[in-house]
A and B are shown apart, each in its own frame.
Chain A
Amino acid sequence: MNDSKRSSRRQLLIGAAVGGGLLASHEKARADAAGQLGTPLGPYGERSPFEKAVRWRRDSKTPETGSSFTPLQDSVGTLTPSSLHYERHHSGIPNIDPAQHRLVIHGMVNRPLSLSVAEIRRLPSVSRTLVLECGGNSGSEWAAKGGPDVQRSYGLVSCSEWTGVPLSLLLTEVGVQPGASWVIAEGADACRMERSIPIAKAMDNILVAYGQNGEALRPAQGYPLRLIIPGWEGNANVKWLHSLKLTDQGYMARDETAKYTELMPDGKAWMHAFQMDAKSVITFPSGGQKLPGPGLYELTGLAWSGRGKIERVEITTDGGRSWAKAQLQEPRLPMAFTRFRLPWRFDGREAVIASRAVDETGYVQPTREALVAVRGTNSSYHFNGTKYWKVQADGAVTNVEA
């Protein structure tokens, strides 16, 4: 579906729902199924045909590499359906038979080990709800004119419940040799994606995950095995994991040197900038949506931090002059989406709105200007500045630069 169709449909739905005219917009659909048999039970669920939220992606001559963005504007609650989880692949999605897949742990270990997926599933497991965010999420915001809607400007982030085995358990099992300081993770995709991870993080809280949102990982999310690294940029969470090599040095792979490094104005670049900082964005009302008229609305959005729990979210509706505390949905889990809400009366005059997150370490989500003052506009990754939307007098919501 093209963008204009999608956004006009979104506007229609928002308008209809808010105006109380949802049924009127679906006259052919039945409001009540009394007296008429529905469809039979099915083996695997599908969403209603009336629901149209989809990932967005740029047209590309090489569709096997690229990103698809989660439709945050259509999200409710704090979890992302696996089917709408953002994607970033470098050489397509492999079709892996789990019965033939093995994870090999080798290098500076006492007992190089080859584990089947079934064997990994026998080990003590952990489930954690965690955000996964691409290091390049919101990269468009470094430009003077950022993304036009929340999907394209902030959509390389999703939140799932992940299930797997602690990597520390596997490393203890193989016996890490003294002097081993890095783990080189490699995927089984066509390009054998590779990243280096410091041993301290590997022993801390990384999961070798096989489950997402109550079922096996989707192929696009690394089926049958992937790394889940709480709070760290998505790229390091290697999918289709088939190799972990313990070494005494980082391997300076392409995706930790040429890419996923932040070029500063003085020409130096940050390396191994894994951590994702606190961030938030208003998802309603947001770019491309339209309020049908003055009246009461619930401003809502998502906040998260790679450093822990969200402590506070503040919202401005006057372009940053004053800030009000938003209500936070409990439970607030560390490094997971926290949904925030604030009732707001739109009086029919232009309003500039934004959210600002503070995490439990006291870190305050900065403005774009504060980020640019330090990092310039060519650092590409790790943008976490506040995002302003302009609600026009007619209710249309745009990027503030529009």
Chain B
Amino acid sequence: MLRLSLAVLAATTLAAQSPKYGVGQPATPAQIRDLGAAIAPDGSGLPEGSGTVVAGREIFKARCARCHGEKGEGGVGSILVGGQGTLATARPLKTVGSYWPYATTVWDYTNRAMPFDQPGLLKPDEVYAVVAYVLNLNGIIGSDQVMDAKSLPKVKMPNRDGFIPDPRPDPAKKPKHKTTHDARGPKS
């Protein structure tokens, strides 16, 4: 009886989940592989491979420095280094080192979007190496550390706990009276 009930239940569940329109083709593993590698903060999606700070310095010099400067000081491309301790000041400097909460994001973005004019050019080993170099420039990892699918998600970024949920609506919760004076008007 129990077995029968389970069978009925399973059939019912299956029916509820079966496609209504039946359009499209089953996605093949190859089709899924051809999409961008999306990397989660826990490291899921990171491919095999590894990279060192030393290797990253050379790749960065060849592929990244013309826009980001040899030491990540910025140029046409954004500043990648510095700014730690500035976020609560009048002139915050948001960089990989000071602002980005996850090292996995640096891998994901470098892999999918860089170099600007040839996104996707870098192989996984090269991405690991460039990320290692940028993290090292920011003083986040030592110059002898190796980045791979295991070590990268464990890197604690300085601003890891710097983000909070969106608290809006903040300043305009309650309707104001119609004739409220608006501070931006001219002082006459």
**Interface residues, chain A, with chain B CB atoms under 8 Å away:** 61-62, 64-65, 90-91, 102, 104-106, 110-116, 119-120, 122-123, 169, 172-175, 184, 186, 190-192, 194, 242-243, 245, 247, 249-254, 257-258, 261-263, 265-275, 277-278, 314, 316, 318-323, 352, 354, 356, 358, 362-371, 373-375, 378, 382, 386, 388, 390, 400
Contacts of B25 in A (CB 8 A): 113-115
Known contacts A106-B27, A265-B88, A356-B182; 7 additional CB pairs below 8 A are A65-B116, A192-B36, A257-B100, A257-B101, A271-B166, A364-B172, A374-B171
**Interface residues, chain B, with chain A CB atoms under 8 Å away:** 17, 19-21, 23-28, 31-32, 35-36, 38-42, 76, 87-88, 90, 92, 94, 96, 99-102, 104-105, 108-109, 112-113, 116, 119-120, 162-176, 178-186, 188
Given contacts A106-B32, A263-B87, A263-B92, whether A277 and B164 have CB atoms under 8 Å apart is no
- Minimum distance in angstroms from A354 CB to a CB of chain B: 7
- Minimum distance in angstroms from A197 CB to a CB of chain B: 13
Across the two chains, which residue of chain A brings its CB closest to B112? Answer: A192
- Minimum distance in angstroms from A264 CB to a CB of chain B: 8
Given contacts A114-B27, A173-B23, A263-B92, whether A258 and B105 have CB atoms under 8 Å apart is yes
Contacts of A314 in B (CB 8 A): 178
A258→B77 CA distance, assembly (Å): 14
One of B27, B76, B176, B180 near A104 (C-beta < 8 A): B27
Given contacts A252-B104, A270-B167, whether A173 and B19 have CB atoms under 8 Å apart is yes
Are B170's CB and A104's CB within 8 A?
no
Are B119's CB and A192's CB within 8 A?
yes
Across the two chains, which residue of chain B brings its CB closest to A242? Answer: B35
Are A194's CB and B36's CB within 8 A?
yes
- Minimum distance in angstroms from B18 CB to a CB of chain A: 8
Are B184's CB and A258's CB within 8 A?
no
Across the two chains, which residue of chain A brings its CB closest to B18? Answer: A175
